[in-house]
Amino acid sequence: MTITIDITPEVQAALARQAAAQGREVESYAASLLEVAVQLPAAHPAPLPDAPPAKDIVELFAPLRGLNLDFGRNPSCGRPVDL
């Protein structure tokens, strides 16, 4: 398929610089940008019917490579309080 688009000289120059930085021709680089732009977001994988439910939030998000959250307690017990 052939598509013709009108772009400003500034956009054309930037596209040429980016393509050259990757060692590619402008046409193939622009086509790859369009391919990336039209990719549909991946659907969340449905859990397997035999899979047990997650025990905690860390296990729930493990398939997504974790949350990068620290669920540890603060070792500081704070200031003493006079009651």
pLDDT digits (tens, 9 = 90+) for 42-66: 555 665 566 677 777 777 777 666 5
Separation of alpha carbons 63 and 65, rounded Å: 5
Is 25 or 59 the better-scoring residue by pLDDT?
25
CA 75 vs CA 27, 57, 72, 78, 80: distances in Å: 58, 22, 9, 9, 14
Share of the chain above pLDDT 70, in %: 66
CA distance 83 to 76: 20
pLDDT at 83: 79
From CA 69, how far away is CA 43, in angstroms rounded?
Answer: 24
The predicted model scores a pTM of 0.46
